[in-house]
Amino acid sequence: MKAQLIIPQEVLEQLIKGTSVASILVEISVQKPEDREDAIRKSAKEKARKDKYTLSKDDFILINKWNSNPLVCDKSEQDDIDGKNMPITQKEINRNSPIIKKAIRVLTVDILTTQMDKYFAQCDRGEHIWNGRNHAFRTLLGFLHRMIDTKRPGKEKTWWMLQRSIEETPIKDPNEVLTQGVADAYARAFLGKKRYILVNPSRDYRHFAIVAKNLVKEKRFPEDKALKIFIEAVRAGYNSLVSEGKPIMPGHLSSMTTWKIVFPQYIAQMLGGNGE
């Protein structure tokens, strides 16, 4: 047990000077050992609670990397409808920061950022949609939960780590003729062939169908002219790939990079920079 004797300052000064003091009001504070231990434990718990919700540099790296990705900042129509690849809000961060910290502790920030790049690359090529379902995550939290799961037996591989070979159900394509036209134009421009043998279902069909769907929305030009301009834009936008001896794949045609950057910029330049 710890006792503390408290003497008023003015009385203490009189005692030091040797002055006689008729009476002294003394305050004694007694603290039991268990009370002191409880206070220490409470202080430690409060510090741990604050640390649990205080964001570190690595936490911010993950959050900013997710929220700044073009697929999150400027989502595709399908992702927007499905509520996928959305920014993580401050409210969600405040509530779920322990999940962010756990993922970093279990996997390291380097592994998580590398896998995030691979995940978004697959989404950019439309590989997150198959069998009529969008397999992307709503926010960063879903991605982190899945990455933590990779440490469990049988859960080591995620869909973006695998080269899938899924037998998809045929795509319901209202633009079937134009889709084939896109495939044929691709074959002539980049394969040196007159026709592309297109099979529904297949990944290539999905890529070409996305292009056809977007061309239908392009109201500034007739469909045949829009397709011709689009192929020219792809050729120009991915010229560096060709110069390196790398092929332009169907996935390049349907990618968000093509539709949000390559094609709009090409049209803007073609129309004198005003895009109208």
Task: Indicate the domain borders of the chain.
Answer: 2-52, 53-161, 176-270
> Within 68-202, where are the H helices?
70-73, 77-82, 90-107, 109-124, 140-149, 176-186
In this predicted structure, the answer to whether residue 125 has a pLDDT above a threshold of 80 is no
- What's the token pair of residue 174? 């209202």
Q: What is the mean pLDDT of residues 243-270?
A: 91
**Mean pLDDT for the stretch of residues 110-136:** 84
* Cα–Cα distance, 263 to 268 (Å, whole number): 9
What is the structure's pLDDT at 171?
81
Extract the tokens encoding 105.
């502790």
Indicate the pLDDT class of residue 267, thresholds 50, 70 and 90.
very high
Long-range interactions of 266-271: CB distance < 8 A, separation 24+: 266/229, 266/232, 266/233, 266/236, 266/237, 267/220, 267/229, 267/233, 270/229
* Paired residues of 130 in beta bridges: 133
Averaged over 10-23, what is the pLDDT? 64
Instruction: Report how far Cα 234 is from the mean position of its chain's Cα atoms.
Output: 26
Q: Is the confidence at residue 30, as pLDDT, over 70?
A: no
When mean pLDDT is compared across 13-17, 44-48, 223-227, 231-235, the lowest value belongs to 44-48
Q: In this predicted structure, what is the pLDDT of residue 51?
A: 54
- Please give the model's pTM, rounded to 2 decimal places: 0.52
Residue 165 clears pLDDT 50, i.e. is over it: no
pLDDT of 68 higher than 50: yes
Asked whether the predicted pLDDT for residue 91 surpasses 70, the reply is yes
